[in-house]
């Protein structure tokens, strides 16, 4: 199906639908927009419109065949091809991310990690962690599509510059630093501060409403 321009809100909802459908019992052959909306606490109209944009498999009173809808959403989101990804951070955090299998469900193949605090390569096959000073050498030999940045703030821009200079086209930024990159490089910023603030405000509003 040809990709269509979608809103940020819809983009945020599609992976939630995908997760939900994948957790349904194997005996479930079809799922409707109504069932998804009720299960996730979302508006049925929004869910129905979202699904109509990514799949033509919906049938009145029957809903969507689960397997077909999963394939349609994954295809729409570009999850059918894996992006080779590296993680730049420190110690145990990198090890945990390299061992986390959940990235595979969203088209990320985390190949290796880089640690600014280590001085030698360590780890087993498929979970290798290199010293940060080896990153340019590695990137020149391997085509990497994404870098996950989890370094101290003081190092963020310098590491970002290394990734950009070696042709990495996308950066998933978990630092609080605003990264300066060329227009052709995509940066997705993740802010724990914003997430925690939203959570606290929701808690406050709920408490005040009681």
pLDDT tens digit sequence for 13-63: 999 999 999 999 999 999 999 999 999 999 999 999 999 999 988 888 789
Residue 1 clears pLDDT 60, i.e. is over it: no
* Structural element, H or E, at residue 93: helix 91-99
Q: What is the pLDDT of residue 105?
A: 74
% of the chain at pLDDT higher than 70 = 95
The contacts of residue 184 (CB under 8 Å, 6+ apart) are 169
pTM here is: 0.75
Q: Is 144 left (phi over 0), alpha (psi -120 to 50) or beta?
A: beta
Average pLDDT of span 82-111: 81
pLDDT given for residue 70 in this prediction: 94
Predicted local distance difference test score (pLDDT) of residue 91: 67
Q: Which secondary-structure segment (H or E) carries 97?
A: helix 91-99
Closest alpha carbon to 113 in 145, 157, 147: 147
Mean pLDDT of 117-141: 82
Q: What is the mean pLDDT of the chain?
A: 87
């Amino acid at each position: 199906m040809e990709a269509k321009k979608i809103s940020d809100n819809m983009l945020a909802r599609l992976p939630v639908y995908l997760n939900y459908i994948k957790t349904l019992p194997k005996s479930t052959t079809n799922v409707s927009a109504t069932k998804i909306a009720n299960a996730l606490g979302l508006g049925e109209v929004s869910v129905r419109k979202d699904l109509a944009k990514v799949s033509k498999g919906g049938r009145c009173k029957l809903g969507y065949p689960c397997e077909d809808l999963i394939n349609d959403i994954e295809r729409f989101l570009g999850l059918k091809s894996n992006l080779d990804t590296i993680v730049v951070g420190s110690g145990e955090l990198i090890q945990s991310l390299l061992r986390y299998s959940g990235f595979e469900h969203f088209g990320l193949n985390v190949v290796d990690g880089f640690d600014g605090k280590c001085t030698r390569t360590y780890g087993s096959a498929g979970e290798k962690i290199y010293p940060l000073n080896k990153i340019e050498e590695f990137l020149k030999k391997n085509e990497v599509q994404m870098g996950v940045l989890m370094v101290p703030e003081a190092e963020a821009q310098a590491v970002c510059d290394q990734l950009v200079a070696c042709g990495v086209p996308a950066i998933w930024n978990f630092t609080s630093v605003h990264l300066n990159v060329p227009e052709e490089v995509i940066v997705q910023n993740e802010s724990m501060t914003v997430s925690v603030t939203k959570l606290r405000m929701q808690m406050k509003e709920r408490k005040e409403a009681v």
